[in-house]
Structure 1
Amino acid sequence: MDHDESPVLDALAEYHDRGYLDFAPPGHKQGLGADDAVRRVLGPEVFHSDVLATGALDDRRSSNRVLERAQELMADAVGAQQAFFSTCGSSLSVKSAMMAVAAPGETMLVGRDAHKSVIAGLTLTGIQPVWVRPRWDRELHLAHPPSPEAYDEAFAEHPEAVGALVTSPSPYGTCSDLKSIARVCHDHGKPLIVDEAWGAHLPFHDDLPTWAMDADADVCVVSVHKMGAGFEQGSVFHLQGDLIDPVRLKQSADLLSTTSPNVLLYAAMDGWRRQMVRDGRELLGSALRLAHAVRASIDELPGLRVIEKQLVAKEASHDLDRLQIMIDTLDAGISGYQAADWLREERAVNVGLSDHRRILAQLTFADTPERTDRLVSALGDLTRTSLPAPSSVVLPEPRDLELEQVMLPREAFFAAQETVPVEEAADRIAAEQVTPYPPGIPVILPGERISAGVIDYLRSGKTATMVIPDAADPSLKSIRVVADT
């Protein structure tokens, strides 16, 4: 296919050249009706390209196949059979993939390190999860992805499972052995869904972890805005093989998605695909070399330690996206929360993730030595700054974090509920999910029996400034539980 073509961008250019006059949404009429302050901050060009997908970008019958051709080019670029664009983020895309594989009441194997959007999918659909547990690292205090053997054992125990869902890469950049997990799934005749939200760039350079389609996954979901050059909410799900019905997948997406998609998101994804086919290998190669140099520079700073080899050691992750730089702050005597806050407040530098002992700096092909020099300089200043001793976070044994699922997430979410003080929540069944963010992996799910260890972990985390935005009570003084009957 001709990857110099960009159907959405070309259609937008024609729209501007012809000077169409719209008596249809959007109501701002090319920004003419927008508030002056809004236009000044956002820029007039944003409004200029905010047009209807059907009836403006394309005609009312979509006879120019603008979006369809853009999706065909995307699939060809990454070696998938089909690609579908989403303007509602990978949160929608992963729910669509789940609905395409499993019906309400059916069983699906799900890695317990899943993003909260997967839990929302379980709540919406009534799918029965069989949790496949991550591997806990006692030294680093983080979870590595579940092993292929864990999925094989789960299928042996639950032959009724209709498929499996894996999250890879994780928000830390760690990756599952997707090829082996896909082989396990296919040996059982079942499809593999990969939530690859952090891996949109993987198809375009050989030194990056294995792309899910190359690992024989059946469907994978990517967020173009995370590691690509799309706007927030731009997502693509890719499909191959014959284990998932493409019509069912599209219909599932239609059930959940907006009928008023933002053309700006389509255009950015379309243009990014062209950019990657043309220059992706060179751009990503430069980014990987820059990341290597940044790692070395950070490792020379006192009290900071770049975590890399430990993440791909025996019994750890299968691979690592080295554009994600994990920095341990433990030896500096500060928490990751403190480091992230200080960098933002004192040096206007934002990092992508922080926890009780780490921050994560995400690099992409957009970064330059000038930008990373500023990051390293800010980190150097951080090591010379005196900060109060961090609040201690209680880290329970892994068994205390592996809560018992006693009700389906959907059943618990819709059950009669009551709010109890958090100190009285132990042994009660959760009616809500409680998710430290980032990275967005729930600690408590609807339907799980809450343990005292998890309560201690979350309460001490809150004292240490952990953010839990999705709880009914973000201060975590109380929690919603299933009412006693």
Structure 2
Amino acid sequence: MSQGKYLDRELYKYGRGEAYPFHMPGHKRQAVTPYLENPYLEDITEITGFDNLHHAEGILKEAQEYGAEIFRAKQTYFLINGSTAGILAAVSACTKPGGKLLMARNCHKAAYHAACLRELETVYLYPSWEESLGLNGGICPEDVEAALAADGEIQAVLITSPTYDGILSDVKKIAETVHRYGIPLIVDEAHGAHLPFHDYFPESALYQGGDIVIQSLHKTLPSLTQTAVLHNQSELVSRERLERFLGIYQTSSPSYLLMASITACLRYVEQRGEEEFEKYVCRLDKWRRVLAQMKTLYLPGKELLGQKGIFDLDLSKIIISGEGANIDGPSLHRILREKYGLELEMEAPKYVLALTSLMDTEEGFQRLAEALLEIDSRLMKGYKRKPLSFTDYPQELCSRQILSISQAMESEQEERNLTESRGLISGEFAYLYPPGIPLLVPGEEITEEFIEQAVRWEKEGIRLQGLSDYTQKRIKTVKKR
């Protein structure tokens, strides 16, 4: 290690460098409290006077009640293992072992891990799809109705809204549908913790019938990485079961630094949120209008509304598509990083995503806009963009589910060349991270379309995660009997 890099030193250099962070966490390197300047002084365990998160009776009980007040929620729990712990606990509390879960196919990998741990049978809701952008749309309420009507054994429904890209489904109508069947709706709102605090943004699932709503504070609010909250809004979910599973999936030694960060974030929102969100919205709206002037690069906006399954759009997510400019997402991100010192949240095959928050500065927005306008001016001229068309998710991209996730992961496996695995049953996940949405799930049939896509991405420098073979050449499959 003496000749290598040390993580603490590299973080120190990055944090004090010239790169601007259009990525999470939402605090954007700005402290909102003077009380955590030296974390070594405040890093404690459960000592007298500081309560216990798993049996909160004092200061932590009050802090979580304070969170419920700020979010106007019925009941709020601190999550210090991120939204992942919330998803695991929510799914577990709402289902029985071996039960059945109706879930959006574009859910985060944590939802699939929950299904595996509970040995659930999964039924999928597929979002709409826009091919030219390579973008997932929303979940149609009619599809939820059809799935529930067809299967009376479903115990809970899980959707993601907003998505990583800021697309929202009609949660209110979906909730009404789900509640007619007497089961709970879980909403992964990890990317929407900011939604309740300004009417420029869509309405939160908290106020549209979501029974359990999970939000990552660190994604879009000024809180440290790994901080999140879970809101229980409904009598359909047992409080006792929920708390039991929160105790299972969260560490028995919760970080007081993270919990203090949550509290400081809540206090900041209460005391300065109205003023700071107003400034943020003005900056965001101003620079989105500037970026809308690009001729070849494309910034999706409100024109997406009304497309299949898309109920609303969170404009804090800045998506820049290079499909019409003959430039892919990784190439565009590389230029922004290397030439302009802008580190974005995500690169997808056809677009990049800049994650913004109320802590972003005017200078930061200006740097991003000037860089993109300069890149845009140098790209191909005269391109006529295709009209957007969100349609049903392509059947060729839907892998047939043969075994449950847990059955496949517990089966005897063998490793095969990826290019020779068509028709076999996958024994592992394959996903792009971020956003961590599985393209292939254990128990699903490996299709020729998936193989071709994986090979194409590998050539473009886009790496799949989840495969045990990091070279992306081989895959574990369920061994034939």
TM-score using structure 1 length = 0.86
**2:411 paired with 1:415:** yes
1:39-89 Cα distance to aligned partner (Å, 9 max, x none) = 988997021111114446349998970111000111122121111111111
- Flag structure 2 segments of 5+ consecutive residues without an equivalent: 1-6, 16-35, 381-392
8 Å Cα contact 1:284/1:364 also seen in 2: no
Question: Could you say which residue in structure 2 is the equivalent of 1:277?
Answer: 270
Question: Could you say which residue in structure 2 is the equivalent of 1:477?
Answer: 473
SS of the residue corresponding to residue 424 of structure 2 reads coil
Query: Residues 422-433 of structure 1: matches in 2 within 5 Å?
Result: 422-433=418-429
Which amino acid is 2:99 matched to?
E
Question: Could you say which residue in structure 2 is the equivalent of 1:217?
Answer: 210
For 1:398 and 1:53, locate their aligned partners in 2 and report how far apart those are by CA, in whole Å. 51
8 Å Cα contact 1:54/1:62 also seen in 2: no
8 Å Cα contact 1:287/1:363 also seen in 2: no
How far is the alpha carbon of 1:331 from its aligned partner?
Answer: 2.5
Which amino acid is 1:154 matched to?
A
Distance 1:307 1:316, change over 3 A: farther
Which amino acid is 1:460 matched to?
R
1:239-260 Cα distance to aligned partner (Å, 9 max, x none) = 0121001111010011111011
8 Å Cα contact 1:148/1:177 also seen in 2: yes
For 1:128 and 1:228, locate their aligned partners in 2 and report how far apart those are by CA, in whole Å. 35
Range moving further from structure 2, 295-304 or 61-70: 61-70
For 1:256 and 1:60, locate their aligned partners in 2 and report how far apart those are by CA, in whole Å. 13
Which amino acid is 2:447 matched to?
S
SS of the residue corresponding to residue 77 of structure 2 reads strand
Question: Could you say which residue in structure 2 is the equivalent of 1:294?
Answer: 287
Range moving further from structure 2, 302-311 or 432-441: 302-311
**2:74 paired with 1:81:** yes
Question: Could you say which residue in structure 1 is the equivalent of 2:237?
Answer: 244
8 Å Cα contact 1:51/1:57 also seen in 2: no
For 2:56 and 2:156, locate their aligned partners in 1 and report how far apart those are by CA, in whole Å. 37
**2:349 paired with 1:353:** no
For 1:102 and 1:140, locate their aligned partners in 2 and report how far apart those are by CA, in whole Å. 36
For 1:66 and 1:338, locate their aligned partners in 2 and report how far apart those are by CA, in whole Å. 49
How far is the alpha carbon of 1:310 from its aligned partner?
Answer: 3.6
Structure 2 counterpart of 1:435, from 421, 431, 435: 431
Q: CA RMSD in A?
A: 2.5
SS of the residue corresponding to residue 213 of structure 1 reads helix
Distance 1:380 1:183, change over 3 A: same
For 1:430 and 1:317, locate their aligned partners in 2 and report how far apart those are by CA, in whole Å. 31
Range moving further from structure 2, 291-300 or 49-58: 49-58
How far is the alpha carbon of 1:385 from its aligned partner?
Answer: 5.9
How far is the alpha carbon of 1:386 from its aligned partner?
Answer: 7.6
Q: Which structure is richer in relative contact order (CA contacts within 8 A, separation 6 or more)?
A: 2
Question: Could you say which residue in structure 1 is the equivalent of 2:255?
Answer: 262
8 Å Cα contact 2:132/2:323 also seen in 1: no
SS of the residue corresponding to residue 85 of structure 1 reads strand
Distance 1:79 1:39, change over 3 A: closer
* Percent sequence identity over aligned pairs: 29
Structure 2 counterpart of 1:144, from 121, 134, 137: 137
Which amino acid is 1:468 matched to?
L
Question: Could you say which residue in structure 1 is the equivalent of 2:371?
Answer: 378
How far is the alpha carbon of 1:38 from its aligned partner?
Answer: 10
Distance 1:426 1:302, change over 3 A: same
How far is the alpha carbon of 1:204 from its aligned partner?
Answer: 1.4
For 1:332 and 1:152, locate their aligned partners in 2 and report how far apart those are by CA, in whole Å. 40
For 1:294 and 1:231, locate their aligned partners in 2 and report how far apart those are by CA, in whole Å. 26
Question: Could you say which residue in structure 1 is the equivalent of 2:183?
Answer: 190
For 1:40 and 1:236, locate their aligned partners in 2 and report how far apart those are by CA, in whole Å. 28
For 2:151 and 2:396, locate their aligned partners in 1 and report how far apart those are by CA, in whole Å. 24
Which amino acid is 1:156 matched to?
A
SS of the residue corresponding to residue 360 of structure 1 reads strand
SS of the residue corresponding to residue 442 of structure 1 reads strand
1:166-208 Cα distance to aligned partner (Å, 9 max, x none) = 1011000001110011101111111000011001111112221
Question: Could you say which residue in structure 1 is the equivalent of 2:464?
Answer: 468
SS of the residue corresponding to residue 463 of structure 2 reads coil
8 Å Cα contact 1:89/1:223 also seen in 2: yes
Question: Could you say which residue in structure 2 is the equivalent of 1:12?
Answer: none
Question: Could you say which residue in structure 1 is the equivalent of 2:20?
Answer: none
**2:406 paired with 1:406:** no
For 1:59 and 1:178, locate their aligned partners in 2 and report how far apart those are by CA, in whole Å. 34
Distance 1:37 1:463, change over 3 A: closer
Query: Residues 42-191 of structure 1: matches in 2 within 5 Å?
Result: 45-55=38-48, 57-58=50-51, 65-191=58-184
SS of the residue corresponding to residue 52 of structure 1 reads coil
8 Å Cα contact 2:139/2:309 also seen in 1: no
Distance 1:349 1:61, change over 3 A: closer
SS of the residue corresponding to residue 242 of structure 2 reads helix
How far is the alpha carbon of 1:474 from its aligned partner?
Answer: 2.5
Which amino acid is 1:313 matched to?
G
Distance 1:470 1:156, change over 3 A: same
**2:442 paired with 1:446:** yes
How far is the alpha carbon of 1:136 from its aligned partner?
Answer: 1.8
Distance 1:62 1:441, change over 3 A: closer
Question: Could you say which residue in structure 2 is the equivalent of 1:5?
Answer: none
Distance 1:319 1:44, change over 3 A: closer
